[in-house]
Structure 1
Amino acid sequence: MNATEILARLISFPTVVGTPNGEIVDWISTYLKAENFAVTIMPGPEGDRSNLFATIGPRDVPGYIISGHMDVVPAEVAEWTSSPFGLRRDGERLYGRGTTDMKGYLAAALAAAPKLARADLAHPIHFAFSYDEEAGCRGVPHLIAKLPALCTVPLGAIIGEPSNMRAVLAHKGKAAASVTIRGRAGHSSRPDLGLNAIHAMASVLNAAIEQADRLSVGPFDQSFEPPYSSLQAGVISGGKAINIVPDLCRLELEARAVSGVDPQSLLAPIRKKAEALREAGFSVDWEEMSAYPALALDRSSPLVSLVEDLTNQTALGAVSYGTEAGLYQAAGIDALICGPGDIGRAHKPDEFILDSELVACQNFIEALGQRCQA
């Protein structure tokens, strides 16, 4: 099967983040086993989602990880010209949810698998395909934790998020959390008998706004846009009717941190403000939704020169979006981003990738295999 045919199969699995992915995992596993890859399926704690790790070549020497996620963001069918879970061609454009982010990368890797399998590899190539990346990299930590039992410490990990096949060396870290405040309901004519959860949340929201303002004055890292850490409240909900004292309010917020800053620490002042409301009789629940560290790979890493050589492009300093790369680096594995397609097409209706981009990515992975030959 060529990369386009494989991509059509992958797109046909509606692996929306947070939903079961058994069908796509089984299909990829069967495909790779037929090419003599050693495949390990690792169910996550959710019970209905799994990571997949596959190796070709010797396991007892260091090699390279080709890393990508199998989940996609939701797609509103009414906004699409065609079915988001059926591949549609229009000239060189291949439309479908996940074509760019990032089943195109998976398809190119799988299309390269037969050639990798025929090569006399002195260093292995590993495929590490994760779940629920779009929910804040929830699946890959379980995979990374098991790597010591699966392979020798790798020489590097290449995370195939869309970067126009240009190596990217840094991205911000992220932490997201929700806070739920419970008060006491009552009639709006007697607010003194209730505990207004929305009013209480106002102090938490103000703390978030104040923290966002503080972050805008630094520390700075000019590699990023904006060049400082940021924080925002993204979702707020609460109340049932205008004449009822609301007993429940929920806020979701996120922080994105420049390299060297712990993103979870940026949320600490907001958490402190929320938990102080318990003294006024409110119930407060703080839930960490997701977190991953920043990526900051030094240009002196051999992985950088290797990928620059294979792509014939100079590495880019940083991007604004986040990936699983920071988690690999935190585990002691050099990591960078390099994948087909443009991030500007991701998470939008009529997402697409180009034939030429799939070919370039497949050629890149096959060339990596050639570098790993005896």
Structure 2
Amino acid sequence: MHAPDILAKLVSFESVVGTTNADIIEWIKAYLKSFGAKVDIIPGPEGDRSNLLATIGPRDKPGYVFSGHTDVVPANEKGWTSDPFVLRVDGERLYGRGTSDMKGFLAASLAAVPMLVASPLMRPIHFAFSYDEEAGCRGVPHLIARLPELCETPLGVIVGEPSNMRAILAHKGKAAARVTVKGRSGHSSRPDLGLNAIHAVGEVLRSAVSTAQALAKGPFETEFEPPYSSVSVGTIQGGQAVNIIPDLCTLEIEARAISSADPAALLSPVRDAAAALEHREFRVEWETLSSYPALSLPRTAPLACLLAELTGIEPLPAVSYGEGFSMRAAV
């Protein structure tokens, strides 16, 4: 199969983030096995989603990994002029959900399988396809945890995010969390009898804002935009009516860290502020939504040199978004 045909098949699977990816994983597994690849399925704790690791060549030697995700964001935009899950060809352009991010990369990788199988590989090529990347790289940690028993430590990982075929040397790390504060409901005329969860979350919010302001003062890594770590609150939800004391409020927050910082540690002041509410009868839940470290490769790193040679394009120093696979280099 040629890459456009493979892409058409991949696009046809509605593997929307947060839903099952069983069908697309089974199709990819069957395709790879038809060429004699070694294939392992790594289920996630959700029960209906899995990662896939496949290898062409010897697994007992270090090689390179093509890494991508099978999930796509929902196709709810109003601008679609055709079925987003049916590949549409318009001249030299291919339209469909995921054609760029990132089923196009999966298709290109899979289309290379016949050539790789026919080559006398001295080192293996691995295919590591994950799930729920769009929800904060939730699937790939389960795959990474299994790598030591499935293959030798890779020499490097090429993550096929859409970057115009330009390798990226550095990206920020990320940690995201959901804070749920539970208080006590009541009528707003008697605030003394209730515990206002929204008011309590306000204290967590103030901690987040002050942390963000402090981070903006440095330290700095000038290759990033902005050149400092950041903390940002994305959502706050709570309350039923203006005359009801809200007994529940939820806040979602993320940190994006320059390479010298630990993204999870950046949220520590906010987590401490949330935990302090428990001394005032509130119940607090802290749920980690996602976490991955920053990437920082020197231009002279072997993987960076290899990708520059293969693409003919100098690597980009840094981007502020990120990926969740260790030893990464996005292309």
TM-score by length of 2: 0.98
- Could you tell me which residue of structure 2 aligns to residue 56 of structure 1? 56
Matches within 5 A, 1:294-313: 294-313=294-313
The one-letter code sitting in structure 1 at the alignment partner of 2:330 is I
> Would you say how many aligned residue pairs link Structure 1 and Structure 2?
331
- Paired residues of 1:77 and 1:83 also in contact (CA < 8 A): no
The one-letter code sitting in structure 1 at the alignment partner of 2:329 is L
Matches within 5 A, 1:200-215: 200-215=200-215
Cα separation, 2, equivalents of 1:324 and 1:207:
27
Higher relative contact order (CA 8 A, sep 6+): 1
Indicate the SS of the match to 1:211: helix
- Paired residues of 1:77 and 1:84 also in contact (CA < 8 A): no
The one-letter code sitting in structure 2 at the alignment partner of 1:122 is M
Cα separation, 1, equivalents of 2:186 and 2:95:
52
- Could you tell me which residue of structure 1 aligns to residue 250 of structure 2? 250
The one-letter code sitting in structure 2 at the alignment partner of 1:137 is C
- Could you tell me which residue of structure 2 aligns to residue 113 of structure 1? 113
Partner deviation per Cα, 1:66-104 (whole Å, 9 max, x = no partner) = 111111112205342222211112222211111111110
For the pair 1:336 / 2:319, whether they are aligned, the reply is: no
Q: From the two aligned structures, give the one with the greater helix fraction.
A: 1
- Could you tell me which residue of structure 1 aligns to residue 186 of structure 2? 186
- Could you tell me which residue of structure 1 aligns to residue 161 of structure 2? 161
- Could you tell me which residue of structure 2 aligns to residue 342 of structure 1? none
The one-letter code sitting in structure 1 at the alignment partner of 2:262 is D
The one-letter code sitting in structure 2 at the alignment partner of 1:336 is A
Matches within 5 A, 1:216-231: 216-231=216-231
RMSD over aligned CA atoms reads: 1.1
Cα offset, 1:300, TM superposition: 2.2
The one-letter code sitting in structure 1 at the alignment partner of 2:6 is I
Q: Where does structure 2 lack aligned partners over 5 or more consecutive residues?
A: none
Partner deviation per Cα, 1:219-257 (whole Å, 9 max, x = no partner) = 111111111101111000100111111111110010000
- Could you tell me which residue of structure 1 aligns to residue 76 of structure 2? 76
Indicate the SS of the match to 2:202: helix
Cα separation, 1, equivalents of 2:258 and 2:151:
31
Cα separation, 2, equivalents of 1:185 and 1:31:
56
- Paired residues of 1:159 and 1:324 also in contact (CA < 8 A): no
- Could you tell me which residue of structure 2 aligns to residue 358 of structure 1? none
Partner deviation per Cα, 1:291-346 (whole Å, 9 max, x = no partner) = 10001112222111111001011111111211124xx13xxxxx3111xxxxxxxx
The one-letter code sitting in structure 1 at the alignment partner of 2:159 is I
Matches within 5 A, 1:16-95: 16-76=16-76, 78-95=78-95
- Could you tell me which residue of structure 2 aligns to residue 132 of structure 1? 132
For the pair 1:238 / 2:238, whether they are aligned, the reply is: yes
Cα separation, 2, equivalents of 1:73 and 1:65:
24
Indicate the SS of the match to 2:100: helix
The one-letter code sitting in structure 2 at the alignment partner of 1:285 is E
Cα separation, 1, equivalents of 2:11 and 2:77:
14
Between the two proteins, what is the percent identity of the paired residues? 63
The worse-fitting range, judged by mean Cα deviation, of 148-157 and 183-192 is: 148-157
Indicate the SS of the match to 1:98: coil
Cα separation, 1, equivalents of 2:182 and 2:87:
46
Matches within 5 A, 1:90-105: 90-105=90-105
Indicate the SS of the match to 1:254: strand
Partner deviation per Cα, 1:4-63 (whole Å, 9 max, x = no partner) = 111111011111111111100000011111111111111111111111111111222221
For the pair 1:322 / 2:315, whether they are aligned, the reply is: no
Cα separation, 1, equivalents of 2:146 and 2:75:
32
Instruction: Detail structure 1 runs of 4+ shifted over 2 Å in the superposition.
Output: none
